[in-house]
């Protein structure tokens, strides 16, 4: 599902104008991004959490030059689904054989 699909679905289900729905979605994403940049997690009860994870410094390899490089410690954004959300997805998804 793309952002346009999401806008269309929400617009149809709520009766709101597509432009208004898109503005709300854009604003939501900007707020999440701003919060994570400020090292603040975003908690949405029953849905999940947008969190900042810290990756430790590690040693990597440049295969083409056969050298080692240091990858510095850094933060990455992550999403942790709520237990209710995770269980709902697990119950709906069936593995194809």
Q: Average pLDDT in the 68-93 region?
A: 91
**CATH H superfamily, domain 41-97:** IHF-like DNA-binding proteins (4.10.520.10)
- Residue carrying the six token digits 């030059």: 65
Q: Is the pLDDT of residue 19 over 80?
A: yes
pLDDT of 14 higher than 50: yes
pLDDT given at position 44: 96
The DSSP call for residue 95 is -
Q: What pLDDT is stored for residue 31 in this prediction?
A: 97
> What are the sequence ranges of the domains in the chain?
1-40, 41-97
Structure tokens at 18: 């597509």
Q: How far is CA 30 from CA 27, 33, 35, 47, in A?
A: 5, 5, 9, 18
pLDDT exceeds cutoff 50 at 35: yes
Q: Is the pTM of this model over 0.85?
A: no
How, if at all, do strands 42-44 and 67-71 pair?
Answer: unpaired
Separation in Å, CA 40 to CA 6, 24, 29, 53: 26, 21, 14, 11
Q: Could you tell me the pLDDT band of residue 97, with boundaries at 50, 70 and 90? A: very low
């Amino acid at each position: 599902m793309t952002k346009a699909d999401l806008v269309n679905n929400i617009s149809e289900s709520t009766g709101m104008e597509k432009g208004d729905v898109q503005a709300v979605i854009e604003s939501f994403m900007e707020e999440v991004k701003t919060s994570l940049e400020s090292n603040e997690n975003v908690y949405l009860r029953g849905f999940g959490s947008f969190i900042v994870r810290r990756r430790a410094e590690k040693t990597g390899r440049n295969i083409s030059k056969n050298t080692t490089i240091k990858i510095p410690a850094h933060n990455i954004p992550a999403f942790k689904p709520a237990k209710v959300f995770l269980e709902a997805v697990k119950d709906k998804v069936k593995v194809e054989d």
